[in-house]
Structure 1
Amino acid sequence: MKELFVADLANYENQVITGFFAVSSRYDRSKRDGARYFALTLADRTGQMEARMWETAEAGEFASGDVVKVRGQVCRYKEFLQLNIEKIRKANPGEFDLGDYVPRTDREIDELWAELNVYVESFTDPHLKALLRAFLDDSELAAALREAPAAKSMHHAWIGGLLEHIVSLLGIADLAAKHYGVHRDLLLTGVVLHDIGKLQELRWGTGFEYTIEGQLLGHITIGIGLIERKIAAIPGFPPGLRMLVEHLVLSHHGKYEFGSPKLPMIPEAVLLHYLDDIDAKMQTLRSEFARHATAGRAAGEVTDWVRSLERPLLDTTPFLGMDQNGRPEPQEARPDLKEDAANGVSAED
């Protein structure tokens, strides 16, 4: 049973620890004198940490994707925690439980799956409902959808991430459809199917990688193929409706430079693109704040530069009297309230 997690390492600064971690990435590099060293990213279900092994003589054989046993010192480099490894070897099969090393959604998969099905059952368009049921009732695709990450390393990059992203989008798309008066069932169909090709674009184990099909075709092309095969098996599916559904998938990246074969040209496609982008960006913010905390840095400090958003970030919760889960902090944790109490001022004043 794993006892030491990445999220715990901030408590062991300047100490030598021994533990098991998954190797998210491994790069063999050279020092200025030509000596070899390893630049690693170690991970488990609680987060990631950079690691270096400066003397490689004590290294056993291991590769990216392996679970390894390491001994090293937790130190700080450029304000971030880093593990300087003294020894490393590939873990034996009986030494670890894979579930400890793969990041997973905090939501219950069964709960997310039930929410998805409630939305689909609320459809009034019989053809769109039949199309989504063709996916959700396909045991192989359904099993993949319950597990798939939404990305290799960007937003929702964890087991169940794609399903979590879809259900989150369904909630805001449902509201947006009513607010803007667009075709609700068409927009929600786009939400469910826009990334469906990722079920075959990605593979997942201790990490997330692209399949050969994913590298050569990409999830948009794969998704269109899946949709066309399902529609072909539905009697009387209107050709015009098929065209609209496919346009939603083809255009959801929004711009040619973002890998979109087409620009969004219908109201539902414009909404899908921007809602998808908003949900992805908001999850990126949450993930960056969590990474900031895991690295041992205080909430309320500006983060490092976030490449995907082209800016640093600031978590507002310390300034608003909330914890990082968005819940009000206990009054004893609020120095401003302590000061008020000392001065005879109540919270109700």
Structure 2
Amino acid sequence: MPDDIPLLIVRDLKSLDVADNGRPFASVLVIKKLAAKTASNGNTFYSVELGDRTGSFSCTVFNDSAAFEALKSAGEGGVVRIEAKVDFYQGRLSPRLGKTSALSEEELSAPGVLDNLVETPPEDPVALWTEFQAFIEAIAHDELRMTVRGVFEEIGETFRWSPAAVAMHHAYRHGLLEHTVHMARACKALLPLYSEVDADLALAGILLHDTGKAIEYEGTLATKRSRRGILQGHVVLGYQLARKHGIKARLDSERLERLEHIVLSHQGEPEWGAAVYAATPEAVFVSMIDNLDAKMGMVQRALRQAGDDNEFSERLPGLSSPLLTRKVPQVPPAAAQLKVEG
């Protein structure tokens, strides 16, 4: 490719494809992860993840690179302007970084800059929050409803903005709200099939199951775990919130114990972070819905970020597999075909 080819200004990473291979481009990206490592020769290098609202890529930057000091200065969560060459490795975007500089506060405040960097759910967050509050009010048991309401009076504003994870599922602004509303919708749809499940306990458990993540995660542009998140984890933090507000609302001991158990067991398996296995009808129900929506959240995000030229996504750790991202062909039903042929 000729050296004098004009610089491509990229406003979303998803627009780059293999046809652009070798082409120089410029983009403004957030440093989502920045980990210093040591090579076998003793030299320091960075393992970096850079991204915008449409996607991200990972690369290695050695200490003799022009980008090294700029990344070090900006730090994790910082925003940089990069110049690079498009490159794909095993079907994944893996550009070769060149000139890199950190954005100033004034540049960050320019219209549209932050909006282009922060991934958000496809649904309106304001509408999601309104629907979420309606689910709280749908809890018929007074003390249970007061317990849930009390938790969100304490953490509601943070909860509304929090991601549901650092990387696995719903890992973007408002992702925790989206995940919880989707679970509540599934709960409402599935409850008629399982009369053994107490509806109020199940719904309260769903609304509270991940509340500890509002404390576990921190960061505006790049999400990382807080001190309490590392030392206690969201399962314990959520249990503490449920217990605190259950006692305050004078929730009876039987329901409080069952509600706490839902929070403690919702991760399903101890190796996934559960404190205990689900051992009540409501806890099993909530755990299964959580697992379903977490995995479908991975599917939905991969489909949103899929390029037109890629048949499969990159490997999704939560699914242990790449995802087929091509839509099912719209083939007429066999009966209709026979009618046409006849």
Which residue is equivalent to 2:31? 23
Instruction: Tell me how far 1:77 sits from its aligned partner.
Output: 1.5
Which residue is equivalent to 1:240? 254
Partner of residue 313 from structure 1, selected from 320, 323, 339: 323
Q: Secondary structure at the match of 1:26?
A: strand
- Answering whether residue 237 of structure 2 is matched by residue 222 of structure 1, we say yes
Between the aligned partners of 1:259 and 1:174, the Cα distance in structure 2 is 26
Distance change >3 Å, CA 38–CA 202, structure 1 → 2: closer
Quick one: which amino acid aligns to residue 147 of structure 1? W
Distance change >3 Å, CA 258–CA 237, structure 1 → 2: same
Instruction: Tell me how far 1:245 sits from its aligned partner.
Output: 0.5
- Answering whether residue 102 of structure 2 is matched by residue 93 of structure 1, we say no
What is the percentage of aligned positions where both structures have the same residue?
A: 25
Instruction: Tell me how far 1:207 sits from its aligned partner.
Output: 0.7
Instruction: Tell me how far 1:100 sits from its aligned partner.
Output: 2.4
Alignment of 1:136-175 (within 5 A): 136=152, 138=153, 140-175=154-189
Structure 2 unaligned regions, length at least 5: 1-8, 333-337
- Answering whether residue 301 of structure 2 is matched by residue 287 of structure 1, we say yes
Instruction: Tell me how far 1:286 sits from its aligned partner.
Output: 2.1
Between the aligned partners of 1:304 and 1:201, the Cα distance in structure 2 is 27
- Is the contact between residue 22 and residue 42 of structure 1 (CA under 8 Å) also seen in structure 2? yes
- Is the contact between residue 38 and residue 56 of structure 1 (CA under 8 Å) also seen in structure 2? no
Alignment of 1:194-233 (within 5 A): 194-233=209-248
Instruction: Tell me how far 1:39 sits from its aligned partner.
Output: 3.8
Quick one: which amino acid aligns to residue 83 of structure 1? P
Quick one: which amino acid aligns to residue 272 of structure 1? V
Distance change >3 Å, CA 57–CA 45, structure 1 → 2: closer
- Answering whether residue 203 of structure 2 is matched by residue 188 of structure 1, we say yes
Instruction: Tell me how far 1:237 sits from its aligned partner.
Output: 1.9
- Answering whether residue 19 of structure 2 is matched by residue 44 of structure 1, we say no
Partner of residue 129 from structure 1, selected from 145, 152, 160: 145
Distance change >3 Å, CA 346–CA 87, structure 1 → 2: farther
Between the aligned partners of 2:45 and 2:321, the Cα distance in structure 1 is 31
- Answering whether residue 95 of structure 2 is matched by residue 83 of structure 1, we say yes
Between the aligned partners of 1:107 and 1:348, the Cα distance in structure 2 is 43
Between the aligned partners of 1:14 and 1:108, the Cα distance in structure 2 is 38
- Is the contact between residue 178 and residue 184 of structure 1 (CA under 8 Å) also seen in structure 2? no
Between the aligned partners of 2:102 and 2:67, the Cα distance in structure 1 is 12
Instruction: Tell me how far 1:348 sits from its aligned partner.
Output: 11
Which residue is equivalent to 1:342? none
Instruction: Tell me how far 1:37 sits from its aligned partner.
Output: 5.2
Which residue is equivalent to 1:56? 65
Q: What is the TM-score with the length of structure 1 in the denominator?
A: 0.83
Between the aligned partners of 1:36 and 1:239, the Cα distance in structure 2 is 55
Q: Secondary structure at the match of 1:65?
A: coil
Residue deviations 1:223-277 (CA, integer Å, cap 9, x gap): 111122212222x421111111101111111222222111111111111111100
Q: Tell me how large the CA RMSD over aligned residues is.
A: 2.7
Quick one: which amino acid aligns to residue 45 of structure 1? R
Q: What is the TM-score with the length of structure 2 in the denominator?
A: 0.85
Between the aligned partners of 2:78 and 2:339, the Cα distance in structure 1 is 56
Residue deviations 1:171-199 (CA, integer Å, cap 9, x gap): 11112211111211110001000011111
Partner of residue 22 from structure 2, selected from 2, 14, 17: 14
Residue deviations 1:73-108 (CA, integer Å, cap 9, x gap): 112222222211111121111223333222212211
Deviates more, 1:23-32 or 1:146-155: 23-32
Structure 1 unaligned regions, length at least 5: 322-335, 338-344
Instruction: Tell me how far 1:290 sits from its aligned partner.
Output: 3.8
Between the aligned partners of 1:208 and 1:269, the Cα distance in structure 2 is 28
Instruction: Tell me how far 1:120 sits from its aligned partner.
Output: 2.0
- Is the contact between residue 289 and residue 315 of structure 1 (CA under 8 Å) also seen in structure 2? yes
Alignment of 1:263-342 (within 5 A): 263-293=277-307, 297-298=309-310, 301-315=311-325, 317=327, 319-321=328-330
- Is the contact between residue 149 and residue 159 of structure 1 (CA under 8 Å) also seen in structure 2? yes
Q: Secondary structure at the match of 2:132?
A: helix
Instruction: Tell me how far 1:289 sits from its aligned partner.
Output: 3.4
Distance change >3 Å, CA 197–CA 35, structure 1 → 2: closer
Between the aligned partners of 2:74 and 2:300, the Cα distance in structure 1 is 32
- Is the contact between residue 312 and residue 326 of structure 2 (CA under 8 Å) also seen in structure 1? no
Between the aligned partners of 2:218 and 2:36, the Cα distance in structure 1 is 24
Q: Secondary structure at the match of 1:4?
A: coil
Instruction: Tell me how far 1:36 sits from its aligned partner.
Output: 6.1
Q: Secondary structure at the match of 1:56?
A: coil
Between the aligned partners of 1:58 and 1:237, the Cα distance in structure 2 is 56
Q: Secondary structure at the match of 1:18?
A: strand
Q: How many residues align?
A: 320
